[in-house]
Structure 1
């Protein structure tokens, strides 16, 4: 996933970074790498801070490229700080780069993850990348259980999302936990 994120950052970095006179050419690659790293580390921080519902909300509707989305705001602020602190880019230029790149990267990431015809980003891969270990994966599954009914994951209508729903998803849709996660994230 990191490689695909870097490709998205490079794709959107042409105007925001490479053609930006406020960014020295010798820092272009570092800025683009920092953008992709900031997306992953920012999403990891959101998960670690208990923001699974925020992350799930990012995948609902078309708000991943909306600058007023709390996840987009948090990642934009993080990238702005990282560009200033790590690369010495002035805060105004860093803010402009982050405000341009983060919504585009997240919008594309979520769009690709939700598109059944595009396998470059799978929701399960995103969860694995941002959760880091099985303990966090169980936390995500707890959140899916908590919020799953809101997203139509309660397959058997018993008011909770559990292993029975996963089994029903497997037998009804053939999607297993991937199908459940896809349902959570609107895929």
Structure 2
């Protein structure tokens, strides 16, 4: 997952890092790597501190791009501090970069994870990479199941997110793989 975060940081870093006059060009790559590393470690820390509901909430609506979301604020503050500490950027430059990159990267990550047509990110892969531990993983999956209906994952409206919802999402697309899997599972 870290590689995917780095790719997103490079994608969104053009405006906020590469074209930013306050950031010397020799630091561009390192700043974008620091952004992805900061997001990854920040999410891991939130999960290890019992923030499964916060992480699940990130997958609702546009919460990942909402700068008033406490999770986004926490990750932005963490990256701001890190950029100031490691690269000597003043607080205005560091907070500008962090405030731009964090919501864009997380928004794209969440949108890709929720998009059934984009296999580059899966919610379960994101959770496994962040939690790295099966008890935390199951806690996050419980939170996602709890909030699943709110972010469109509960396809059959039975109040829980499970394999039948995954099958329903795939078979709704019609044709191709959905038809094959639907026949295979008797849908």
Count of residues paired in the alignment: 165
Whether 2:56 is the aligned partner of 1:59: answer no
Q: How far apart are the structure 2 equivalents of 1:173 and 1:98?
A: 35
Task: Map 1:163-182 to 2 at 5 A.
Answer: 169-170=163-164, 174=167
User: Does residue 113 in structure 1 map to residue 113 in structure 2?
Assistant: yes
**TM-score using structure 2 length:** 0.78
Deviation of 1:63 after TM superposition, in Å, equals 2.0
- Distance of 2:129 and 2:59 partners within structure 1: 16
Q: Work out the CA distance in 2 between the residues paired with 1:64 and 1:149.
A: 16
Counterpart mapping for 1:7-22 below 5 A: 7-22=7-22
Q: Which residue of 1 aligns with 2:184?
A: none
1:115 CA displacement: 0.7
Gaps of 5+ in 1: 176-187
Unpaired runs of at least 5, structure 2: 169-187
Q: Distance in 2 between matches of 1:71 and 1:10?
A: 22
1:135 Cα deviation from its structure 2 partner: 3.4
User: What is the 5 A alignment of 1:71-150?
Assistant: 71-141=71-141, 143-144=143-144, 147=146
What does residue range 26-65 of structure 1 map to in structure 2 within 5 Å? 26-65=26-65
Q: Aligned-pair RMSD on alpha carbons? A: 2.4
